[in-house]
Amino acid sequence: MSRLSDGLILVGHYLAARRRAALRDSTSLQKHQQRRWQKLRAHVLAKSPFYAALHPANHQDCPVMDKQSWMDAFDRINTVGLPLSEAFALAERAEATRDFSPMWHGVSIGLSTGTSGARGVFLASPAERLQWAGTLLAKMLPQGLLTQARIALLLRAGSNLYDTLSGGLRLKFQYFDLTRPFNDVLAELDRYRPTILVGPPSVLALAADATLAGRIQLKPSRVIAVAEVLDDIDAARIRQAFDVPIEQIYQATEGFLAHTCSHGTLHLNEDVLIVEKAWIDRETRRFVPVVTDLYRQTQPVIRYRLNDVLVERASPCPCGSCFTAIERIEGREDDMVWLRSRTGAEQVPVFADVLSRALLNAGAAVGDYRIEQRTPDVLHVGVSPAPTAEDAERIRMALGASIDRLGASVPTIIVDGTIECGDERKCRRVRRLCEIVHA
């Protein structure tokens, strides 16, 4: 397709997404989802050997899948006959060369970061890339496509998806490769002077530090956090440097999942997804999303169980959207800490947010931290700057009291100045590094 026809198609998807955003009641939303499901079932799933064999009348007739089972069935799920071995080879070559332009018969191939275990492969056809771009722009640029903006994408890996966004009207996109020396990235970012800054919170915080120190001069009008949980520590530094609200995009290998509305609330993109809630704790409104993407065609995403813990908002969002409102993304399900109960008869879940808030409210000087469950009975807490003996004791007491209130047996808590986080890994401040049998 020509550049002009691609542009017209993208505008069509943009306008369609704007119309879907006008849905204001659950009945209209459900009717839209059912219409899309029937189209997906008739025109897409019939081409997937895996789903064609199931003959699903409804999405509930399909099995729930996680990343491992999805990858195991990759050859039979995708609708273009691409073997997983060939997809991996092409994607890994792109990672190694940092050239993300090669495709397989027009299909883009990307790799997930692998922070939840095995790496996932995701596919997108030219039509899907245009649909994704139109939807993303409609949700994040409600003022219109004629908006003039310089958008900086600070990401670990590029993609043909991001290239799809480039060159349109008055919008300029530039991808900044985070596998390069970060000082080089900052210098290039300083020259570009973005009006919209997009990146993982830990990276945005580093850019904020450089701005506060006067090493670079960034004055974005919008800051959008992606790829990681937005932590209070990072959020405070970003707001201090840029003095703008922090928006969020919740996107994963499995699709464009949620975005921030004008009131600062994350809403699930239920105009393009059906989201089932696998409840972890109804009382505290924590669930894991099981998503069905209503628009993916090359690699159908049907009842895919993500690994993220979401907290549903207790009250409706003032924006009036009927899309599910999320209070926060709390982290990965397999990074919940599990501790023995005081009776020793069961395991007690301790959510990441509980530990983080206990640490930050302990009264100690904390610039950064990592909490890791290294064995079933040991928590390692790394704090920067290195804690004094008094601060270490405050942190131990605060965490211990918080854990005790949950009815769990307080483990050995080691507090020191050791923090480990690789440059290419998503920053996860609370992690479980051991297997918990009863969890």
Tens of pLDDT, residues 103-154: 888 898 887 765 555 678 889 888 888 888 888 888 887 777 777 888 898 8
As a whole number of angstroms, the longest Cα–Cα distance in the chain is 68
Residue 208 above 90 pLDDT? yes
Residue 286 above 80 pLDDT? yes
User: How large a percentage of the chain has pLDDT more than 90?
Assistant: 45
Query: According to the model, what pLDDT value does residue 183 have?
Result: 87
Integer Cα distance of 400 and 410 in angstroms: 6
pLDDT band at 223 (very low <50, low <70, confident <90, very high): very high
Integer Cα distance of 58 and 274 in angstroms: 11
CA distances from 368 to 33, 242, 255 (A): 42, 20, 30
Radius of gyration of the chain (CA): 22
* Whole-number average pLDDT of the chain: 86
Mean pLDDT of 215-231: 89
Q: 324 is written with which tokens?
A: 């599910």
Q: Which amino acid is at 272?
A: V
Helices (H), 166-304: 182-192, 201-212, 232-242
Question: ∠ at Cα 256 (124, 97), nearest 5°?
Answer: 50
Strands (E), 44-190: 108-111, 121-124, 149-155, 171-177
Q: Where are the domains of the chain?
A: 1-333, 336-432
> What are the backbone dihedrals phi and psi of residue 6, each rounded to the nearest 5 degrees, phi first?
-60, -45
pLDDT band at 27 (very low <50, low <70, confident <90, very high): very high
Query: According to the model, what pLDDT value does residue 204 have?
Result: 92
Q: Using DSSP, state whether 267 is helix, strand or coil.
A: strand
Q: 138 is written with which tokens?
A: 């409609």
* pTM for the predicted model, two decimal places: 0.81
* Pick from 186, 187, 159: nearest CA to 173: 159
Do 247 and 260 meet the contact criterion of CB atoms below 8 Å apart?
yes
Integer Cα distance of 81 and 69 in angstroms: 18
Residue 439 above 70 pLDDT? no
Fold that domain 1-333 belongs to in CATH: Rossmann fold (3.40.50)
Helices (H), 143-200: 160-165, 182-192
Question: ∠ at Cα 30 (26, 36), nearest 5°?
Answer: 145
More confident residue, 95 or 139: 139
Query: According to the model, what pLDDT value does residue 423 have?
Result: 43
Query: According to the model, what pLDDT value does residue 438 have?
Result: 52
Query: According to the model, what pLDDT value does residue 318 have?
Result: 93
Query: According to the model, what pLDDT value does residue 169 have?
Result: 54
Q: For 321-375, what is each residue's pLDDT tens digit?
A: 999 999 988 877 777 888 988 887 788 888 887 888 889 888 888 888 899 998 9
Query: According to the model, what pLDDT value does residue 61 have?
Result: 96
Q: For 238-271, what is each residue's pLDDT tens digit?
A: 999 999 999 998 887 667 899 999 899 999 999 9
Integer Cα distance of 14 and 324 in angstroms: 21
Q: 124 is written with which tokens?
A: 């997108």
pLDDT band at 216 (very low <50, low <70, confident <90, very high): very high
User: How large a percentage of the chain has pLDDT more than 70?
Assistant: 92
Q: Which CATH number describes the domain made up of 336-432?
A: 3.30.300
Query: According to the model, what pLDDT value does residue 166 have?
Result: 55
Instruction: Give the residues across from 247 on adjacent strands.
Output: 224
Q: Using DSSP, state whether 95 is helix, strand or coil.
A: helix
* Pick from 10, 4, 38, 36: nearest CA to 23: 36
Mean pLDDT of 368-384: 91
* Pick from 165, 108, 106, 130: nearest CA to 16: 130
Helices (H), 329-388: 352-360
How big is the chain, counted in residues? 439
Q: Which amino acid is at 204?
A: L
Query: According to the model, what pLDDT value does residue 29 have?
Result: 94
More confident residue, 439 or 71: 71
Concatenated DSSP letters for 324-339?
PEEEEEEEEGGGSEEE
Lowest-pLDDT choice from 65-79, 156-170, 247-261, 393-407:
156-170
The 8-class DSSP code of residue 431 comes to E
